[in-house]
Amino acid sequence: MKGNSYLSRKIHSLLGVIPLGLFIIEHMITNYSAYEEGAQGFKDSVKFLNDLPLVFFLELFGIWLPLLFHGVYGLYVAYQSNLNTGRFQYGRNWFFTLQRISGVITFIFIFWHLYQTRLQVMLGNVTHEELGNQMHSITTNGFYFVFYVIGIIAATFHFSNGMWAFLVSWGITIGPRAQRISSYIFMGVFVIVALLFLLSLTAFRGDEFKEAASAALQMTNLV
């Protein structure tokens, strides 16, 4: 089965939910600790994650590789579509278009977000304990704050609408009624997940995350 786009597309679809969908929920919960429990709570959550057994492999197989495949193949999927919302202004067609646009925005956003946070940790410019401060400096910069708000909305929409499409593509929601109800549910999910992420984003702007801004920031905050 050489070059079988059926299998690649199925893997792309599956990875979007397991592990990436699970990860986005986990990420939301971790970040929310910044809103609910403040700087120390966030530090504890980050520490908890880093204390997980085999954290290196968890990250590699649970985040890095799936993200790379889903992202790169996703760009190819977007390239393969002729967006035609001009001619066919139907609701689902808009969602189809938005799914592709939000995917591309999410790709850029995640790339930059990883560079500013995870990569700086990897390079030794920031420690895990300083991630809160790092986020403080990012979110207090007007340009990055807006960039992050857009990125979060795009990513959470892509996740929620992607869940809807996943249920169709694997033949779980079949009839129009099932698909309609599922679309209501996942739009609800979108609102909740986006809101929780945005709340934590504003929480990072609080003074308690200030402390000493790390040197890495001067490097990553280009604007």
Annotated binding site for heme: 27, 70, 113, 158
Applying CB under 8 A, which part among 21-29, 35-43, 166-174, 201-209 lies near other proteins? 166-174
Cis geometry, peptide bond prior to residue 53 (ω within 30 degrees of 0): no
What's 173's DSSP letter? S
Asked if residue 190 lies in contact with residue 163, where contact means CB atoms within 8 angstroms, the answer is: no
Q: Which residues does the annotation place in the binding site?
A: 27, 70, 113, 158
Query: How many other CB atoms sit within 10 Å of the CB of residue 191?
Result: 13
Q: Is 169 in the site for other proteins (CB under 8 A)?
A: yes
Look at residue 105 and give its three-state secondary structure. Answer: helix
Q: 70-109: which residues touch other proteins (CB under 8 A)?
A: 77, 79-84, 87-88, 90, 92-93, 95-97, 99
Of 50 and 81, which has the nearer Cβ to other proteins?
Answer: 81
Q: 104-163: which residues touch other proteins (CB under 8 A)?
A: none
The Cα-based distances of 6 to 3, 32, 220 in angstroms read 9, 38, 40
Q: Which residues bind other proteins (CB under 8 A)?
A: 1, 3-6, 9-10, 77, 79-84, 87-88, 90, 92-93, 95-97, 99, 165, 168-176, 179
